[in-house]
Amino acid sequence: MSSVTIFVIIGAVAGGFVQGLSGFAFGLIAMAFWAWSVEPQLAGPMVVFGSLLGQILSVGAIRESFSLWRAAPFIVGGLIGVPLGVLALAYIDTTMFKAAVGALLATWSPIMLLARRLPYVSIGGRIADGVVGLIGGVMGGLGGLTGPAPTLWCVLRGWDRNTQRAVFQSFNTVMQAATLAAYAVGGLITLDVLKMFALIAPAMLVPNLIGVRLYARFSDAAFRAVVLLLLGMSGVALLVASVPVLLHR
C-alpha cells in the first residue's frame, strides 16, 4: 500500500467521523492529511465527493427535523449565488478573499464560543435566510466556501441543534451535488479521481455512522461549541493557506 493511499484513507476516516458528528467540516479535516500527499486537481473533487457522501450517510440525523419550508430560502439563494461567485472570480483576488474570511472566522468564532450569551438574531425572516444562502453560494463560487455563512447564521438564529443541522446540512448537500455535477460536466472526474473515490467511500462509512451516533448524545450547548470550534479551525486553516502567499507577493 502506497503512502498516498494511506494518507487518503486516514483523511477519509477522520473527515467522515467529524462530518458525522457535526454535519460539516469533512474537507477541513481531510485536507489536513491530503494537502501533503494529493495533487490539487484531485483534491477538489475528492473533498466534494467525500462531503456529499457524508451528508447522504448522515441523513438520519436530520430526518425528523428537516423542513423544506425552512431550508428552501437558503438553498434557492445558494443556487443563485454560486454562478454569481464564479462570475466574480475575474474581478476579485481570491487569496485576499480567503484571508479575509479566515480572519473573520478565526476571530468571531472564538468570541462567540467564549461568550456567556450569544447575540441571537430574530429579524429578517425568510428573506434574511435567503440572503445568507446567497452569500454562501457566492462564497462557494469564489472559493468553495459554501458552508461558513449558513452554518454561522444558524447558530445566530438560536435554533436547537437538530434544526441547525437540518438547515445547513440540506444546504451543503445541494451545493455539493451541484458542484460535483459541474465537475463531471467540465471533465474533471477522471479515472484517477474515480480511483480516489473508491478509496474514500468505504473508508469513511463506519466512522461517519459512529459520528452520527455520538451526535445524538450532544446537548444544544455542546453542539454549538463543536460548530464554533470547527468554524474557528476553518478560519485558521484559511489564514495558514493564504497569508504566506500574500506576504510573498
Average pLDDT, the chain: 89
Closest C-alpha to 188, from 77, 46, 67, 91: 46
Closest C-alpha to 18, from 1, 33, 37, 2: 33
Q: Per mean pLDDT, which range of 4-8, 102-106, 184-188, 192-196 is the poorest? A: 184-188
Q: What value does the mean pLDDT take over residues 229-248? A: 89
Task: State which amino acid sits at residue 79.
Answer: L
| Amino acid 24: pLDDT | 87
Contacting residues for 99 by C-beta, under 8 A, at least 6 apart = 238, 239, 242, 243, 246
Closest C-alpha to 52, from 160, 208, 232, 229: 208
Residue 222: CB atoms within 10 Å: 12
Segment 145-174, tens digit of pLDDT: 888 899 989 989 989 999 999 999 999 999
Segment 94-139, tens digit of pLDDT: 889 889 998 999 998 898 888 777 778 888 899 999 999 999 999 8
Q: Which pTM was predicted?
A: 0.85
| Ramachandran quadrant class, 158 (left: phi over 0; alpha: psi -120 to 50; beta: rest) | left
